[in-house]
Amino acid sequence: MDALSSGKDRINERIAAFIAGILILVVILITATEALCYWIPGWWRKEYAKYDTPQYVTGEMSLDDAVYITEQMLEYCIGHIDTLDDTEATIDGVTAPFFTEREKQHLADCRNIFLGAVKFRIIAVLAAAALLIAVWFSVQKRIERVHGRENGSALIWPAFARVTSKGYLKALAAFIIFALFLIIVGMHDFTFLFTKFHHVFFDNDLWILDPRKDNLVNVMQESVFSDAAVTIGSVWAVCSLCLAAAAAAVIKKTSRD
């Protein structure tokens, strides 16, 4: 009976550690996205200069104005400002509000997604912490049941570290497989992936903008979104692989102890 109970405990610990790993990776992804939008100095200016973004705008517009309206849009999406009504740009020598009503409605949806992601990150951190605490007490209970409290105390941390580290590595493997699938699809047809992304996250067609009337779509081109995806993925990969290296080191060390 003890062996059966111990086996079930081990399975539950592995499942909890795997889910915690997935949540941690999602937290890293959300944070990497925030880093691109707000923490990497000059990223948008470099992108717009790289693709000469102002040339695609209907009318003559400066690089400074293109960067300015993007920064205002991002400040709005994260909740730092409450409206885009006063965001102006100079096009063909005329200074006027940049965003059309349709664009503002779409960006209101984007704002909800941004703020929802920030809230979800907090929930994910708390949920991952709760799962890891549950794993700790399960490991403690399981080991003390077999070895006793005094003899088992030294075994709890190594066992917990192995379970959680292996759970994270399995979660990372699953994440990478999914990411590779998206990369292959994106390399073959980024427009398809871009469209599917909007179908998943938006329940209306406000994101379909007319480049003749809506200059936002002329500024935020697919090439910029593509580079943004690569940058976010790179930041996520560096952070997640650093954790993977630490997890592998923990597994190696605790296996020898």
pLDDT in tens, 209-251: 999 889 999 999 889 988 998 999 999 999 999 999 999 999 9
Q: Which of 134, 126, 130 is nearest to 12 (CA)?
A: 134
pLDDT recorded at residue 22: 97
Residue among 63, 68, 69 at smallest CA distance from 51: 63
More confident residue, 15 or 3: 15
For every residue of 219-238, which 3-state class applies, written as one string? HCCHHHHHHHHHHHHHHHHH
- pLDDT-wise least confident of 55-64, 97-106, 145-154: 145-154
**How much is the average pLDDT of 98-118?**
96
Query: From CA 165, how far away is CA 46, in angstroms rounded?
Result: 38
Query: What is the value of pTM for the model shown?
Result: 0.90
Mean of the per-residue pLDDT values of the chain: 92
Spatial distance between the Cα atoms of 158 and 251, rounded to a whole number of angstroms: 9
Q: Strand 88-91 relative to strand 94-97: parallel, antiparallel, unpaired?
A: antiparallel
Asked if 27 and 171 touch (Cβ cutoff 8 Å), the reply is no
How many other C-beta atoms lie within 10 A of the C-beta of residue 119?
A: 10
**pLDDT, tens digit, 9 for 90 and up, residues 13-41:** 999 999 999 999 999 999 999 999 999 99
**According to the model, what pLDDT value does residue 250 have?**
95
Q: What is the mean pLDDT of residues 83-108?
A: 95
- Cα dihedral sign for 163, 5, 132, 144? negative
Number of other residues whose CB lies within 10 A of the CB of residue 67: 20
Give the pLDDT band of residue 145 (cuts 50, 70, 90): confident
